Amino acid sequence: MAVKDSYDFGNAECIVITDSKNYRKRPEDYTENTAPVVISIYPKREGVCRPVVAMIPLTYGYEENWRSEAGKVRGEAYRELKKRVEAAVLSRISAHLGGDFMSTAEYHELSTPITFERYTYSQNGSYMGWSIEEQKYGKFMKQRTAIKDLFLVGQWVFPGFGIAGVMASGYYLAKEILKDECIDLKKEMAEFKLWQ
């Protein structure tokens, strides 16, 4: 969402909307009316709409894969379901934050796991890589491949999971490649003088 800077979140950076009963459910059992809503509030900049991201754990398989048609085609049933979910989530947010919140929302759009899969080719619409559940933790692709000079980094590659994992993935690989090439980048950067 893009929210006008006139809306005052106070010092909040994150808001969670849930109750003591629903937060304990399994993701497969959630609906748009029962799933916890986690709202990340980005820093305010004067004169610019503030980014606000609301996340809800509705699974890839929700409502028979979000009512997509054969071949994962997103037809009218998908679009109607997506509108229904978006309206329900916005209504819950508005009820929690007050009626004036929605009047300050300049833009909002719902992305589903089907959307993520379509645009990123990530299996089952994952936007963070492999599951971090205990029994699945440590499941990563290797950075080095059998093809000469083809390396992998990203959310599916060690150490995986989210933006920090993707950055670490690239960092660790860069260190390995530099070591293989006998390049001590730390030493070279320490010796480099910007004002020569």
Per-residue pLDDT averaged across 57-71, rounded?
Answer: 84
Q: Please report which confidence band the pLDDT of residue 137 belongs to, taking 50, 70 and 90 as the band edges.
A: low
Token pair listed for 121 = 């080719």
Lowest mean pLDDT among 26-35, 65-74, 110-119: 65-74
Residues 40 and 92 occupy one common structural domain: yes
pLDDT, position 184: 83
Residue where a domain stops, chosen among 127, 144, 165: 127
Per-residue pLDDT averaged across 158-181, rounded?
Answer: 86
Residues 154 and 102 occupy one common structural domain: no
Answer whether the bond into residue 159 is a cis peptide, omega within 30°.
yes
Residues 114 and 48 occupy one common structural domain: yes
pLDDT, position 21: 82
What total number of domains does the chain contain?
Answer: 2
Q: Is the pLDDT of residue 90 over 90?
A: yes
Over pLDDT 90: what percentage of the chain?
Answer: 35
Q: Which of 65, 67, 58 is nearest to 27 (CA)?
A: 58
Residues 9 and 99 occupy one common structural domain: yes
Q: Is the pLDDT of residue 174 over 70?
A: yes
What is the chain's length? Answer: 196
Per-residue pLDDT averaged across 34-39, rounded?
Answer: 94
pLDDT, position 136: 65
Residues near 126 by Cβ (< 8 Å), separated by ≥ 6? Answer: 113, 116, 155
Q: Is the pLDDT of residue 132 over 80?
A: no
Domain assignment of residue 85, given as a range? 1-127
pLDDT, position 123: 78
CA distance 1 to 17: 16
Residues 36 and 97 occupy one common structural domain: yes
CA distance 185 to 126: 34
User: What does residue 37 show for φ and ψ, rounded to 5 degrees?
Assistant: -115, 120
Residue where a domain stops, chosen among 127, 155, 182: 127
pLDDT, position 134: 65
Residue where a domain stops, chosen among 127, 144, 164: 127
CA distance 72 to 79: 13
Residues 164 and 91 occupy one common structural domain: no
Q: Are 154 and 122 in contact (CB under 8 A)?
A: no
CA distance 88 to 31: 10
